[in-house]
Amino acid sequence: MALTQKQIQEENAMIEHITNHALNEDPNSNAPIPKIGKNVDMGRVLNGVREQIGKKNWKPNPDLTEEELKLMREDVQDRIIVARVGLLLRHPFFGNMATRLRIVPADDWCPTAAVDGRNLYFNTQFFNALNNREIEFVIAHEILHCVFDHLLRREDRDAMLYNIACDYIVNNLLVREGIGEKPKIIDCYQDFKYENWTSEEVYDDLEQKFDEEELKQLGELLDEHVDWSKDPNEDQQGQAPSANSGDGEPTKGKGRPSYSKEELRKIRDEIKENMISAAQSAGAGNVPAGVERMIKEFTEPKMNWREILRQQIQSTIRDDYTFSRPGRKGWHTGAILPGMNFQETIDLCICIDMSGSIGNDQAKDFLGEVKGIMDEYRDYNIKLWCFDTEVYNEADFSADGGESLEDYEVHGGGGTDFMVNWTYMKEHNIVPKKLLMFTDGYAWDSWGEEDYCETVFVIHSNRDKNLQAPFGITAHYEEAA
């Protein structure tokens, strides 16, 4: 329900009053807090107060002289080195990564902190307002943006939302692992409900649930998330050229670097190498699980799902047709019903999980891929169906022509129950040489029956690229680039 103007006014008045009261800034602040109007949502008011207090706790001092700032900068630089040592001792992976970043003062363009994969940029007054443990937190925060590839991963997502999503991911990990202390002068985005999510998933959640105003209530970014591919000087286009920009030198206030796409990819590779060697020197047990997963992804060569699919189908079809219906272990203990129409040679059963995030296009892409492989064979039989909590739309395809796999209509939308596929096969006396399941991997309960037939799970999901089915073969579907 949308807030009325009156509610907003009343709540804002409460927020201001309580904040002033708490900070003792208002000479009238000792006046009693007004009665809470019936339109006021105290949860929202308290969030507002929290935000105000967070912001009021710290402001850069605009009156510092150059000399004072210089001294402060030297002190801050020393303290960053100390924090780095602290990280090396307590959290060697982060300490090791930190020593690979050049520490660069950036008061002219950076109000907090920023990172480009090679340099850690700091604002003197911002860092000066942090204690040593909070500096550790900020350094580790910057390192995690590199580790999780947040510099290049945004693609065409909305920058503000994606930045918030990334800070949730990073801050959650730091708080959970107890790395440094969350700075008090910033009301950081942090919420354990996003535990083990990817930045893309948090992004989708934020996009669905919150508008811009509400996002501000949830917290604020810890640091500057710079789009390094954008030249800061371009922002000045259309403005009168300033006196000192003629020689190509960056003008004051625009001193930050920018990189070509190619250079950024090079930086990404450097970060990967750094991560692997930092993890090695940190030793087992000293790398947070989320980071370990990222490293595993880089270092373990992964087979493309198409290769796996091809390999699996080929191994199935190349068998001679000695497949015999009865005699599979462990399943049909019951009598076979008379009059049952047995399938002669079912090479492949394909079941498509239509419960979750799989769209028609993805399913068709997947079927197109299967068809491409099948076109190489003179003889085959495929049985195809969709499922959510039940099986439907069963259809048969063979080399003799008829309908094309790609024209198959996919339907679905309910919950998920992987077992319905096995129940269905048993009820209909279907024992394929291989079962291919195209799924998002959200098996609520059982993944199916291990011993029934060979199973290949082609998982379409951004959630966890390391998700493995408990049996059979797992491949991760990726959309054509």
Residues found near Zn ion in the complex (CB under 5 A): 167, 222-223
**Given the complex with Zn ion, which of 223 and 353 has the nearer CB atom?**
223
Asked if 325 contacts 342 with a C-beta cutoff of 8 angstroms, the reply is: yes
Partners of 437 in beta bridges: 351, 457
| Choice between 162 and 385, CB closer to Zn ion | 162
Residue 302 Cβ vs Zn ion, minimum distance, rounded to whole Å: 28
In the complex, minimum distance from the CB of residue 113 to Zn ion, in angstroms, rounded to a whole number: 8
Q: Which is nearer to Zn ion, 170 or 351 (CB)?
A: 170
CB of 150 to Zn ion, least distance (A): 8
**Best CA proximity match to 330, nearest among 203, 449, 423, 413:** 449
**CA 121 to each of CA 181, 226, 256, 356, 427: distance values in angstroms, whole numbers, following the listed order:** 19, 11, 9, 42, 65
| Closest separation in Å from C-beta 184 to Zn ion | 17
Question: CB under 8 Å, gap of 24 or more: what pairs does 332-338 form?
Answer: 332/426, 332/429, 336/429
Task: Specify the residue, 18 or 165, whose C-beta has the smaller distance to Zn ion.
Answer: 165
Minimum distance, C-beta of residue 286 to Zn ion, in the bound complex (Å):
23
Radius of gyration of the chain from its Cα atoms, rounded to whole angstroms: 29
- Least distance to Zn ion, CB of residue 58, Å: 17
Residue of 120, 56, 43 lying closest to 87 (CA atoms): 120
Q: Which is nearer to Zn ion, 223 or 347 (CB)?
A: 223
In the bound state with Zn ion, the residue whose beta carbon lies nearer, of 76 and 222, is 222
Angle at CA 277, nearest 5°, toward 274 and 282? Answer: 115
* Residue 234 structure tokens: 């371009």
Coil, strand or helix at 457: strand
List beta partners, residue 127: none
Instruction: Give CA–CA dist 102/313, Å, rounded.
Output: 51
Nearer to Zn ion, 129 or 222 (CB): 222
Parallel/antiparallel/unpaired status of strands 391-398 and 381-387? antiparallel
The distance of closest approach from Cβ of residue 151 to Zn ion in the complex, given in angstroms and rounded to an integer, is: 11
